[in-house]
Amino acid sequence: MICIKKIFRFFLYFILAILLLVVGYIFICKIFFKQDVPMFFGVGLAVVSTQSMSPELNEGDLLIVNKSESFSIGDVITYASENGLITHRIIDINDEQIITKGDNNASQDTPITPNEIIGVVSNSIPAIGNIITFVQSPIGIILLLIPITIFVCIKMFKKEDIVEKEE
């Protein structure tokens, strides 16, 4: 029984550490480096915020975006616009203009240039983006910090009790 508890605790700490690293990295890149999609070795994460690409991509999906210099018709790309990040499919390429459209939209988007493109979507993980969006919100940060603070305090007090008992 103790072995199962240790394995569960290790797994829980591992997941928490990964989550903290990802959220911390995204937070630092967004706040300090003003990056819409933080890229780590040419790979970034973005969250789908609308249903414009359904049924292929749904609101709350986590996207894996790869930096790319070449694009072709049919690629799903993420680009920066004045309204924020947009993830749509390339439907036409004319000289220096790229025309995109959401699969679930009736009309095409305003043409963009290759400089506006952040990257090509290589994969998506359904619904995981909702967790990341929540953890980045003020309530999510508070709810994440409270258990961590309590955990650290408990560990510190346990160590102090052990030191006092040894003396």
Read off the pLDDT band of 159 (50, 70, 90).
Answer: low
The most confident of 17-21, 28-32, 122-126, by mean pLDDT: 122-126
pLDDT tens-digit map of 42-78: 898 899 999 999 999 999 999 999 999 999 999 999 9
Indicate whether 152 belongs to any domain: yes
Q: What is the CATH number of the domain that holds 147?
A: 2.10.109.10
Check pLDDT > 70 for residue 80: yes
Indicate whether 147 belongs to any domain: yes
Indicate whether 24 belongs to any domain: yes
Rounded to whole angstroms, the Cα distance separating 117 from 80 reads: 7
CB atoms within 10 A of CB 42: 10
Indicate whether 163 belongs to any domain: no
Enclosing domain of residue 99: 2-156
Number of structural domains (the chain) is: 1
Read off the pLDDT band of 130 (50, 70, 90).
Answer: very high
Q: Which two tokens stand for residue 48?
A: 């789908």
Q: What is the maximum alpha-carbon separation in the chain? A: 78
Indicate whether 161 belongs to any domain: no
Report the predicted TM-score, pTM, of the whole model to 2 decimal places: 0.73
Indicate whether 37 belongs to any domain: yes
| Burial 9-35, CB ≥16 within 10 A → b, else e | eeeeeeeeeeeeebbeebeebeeeeee
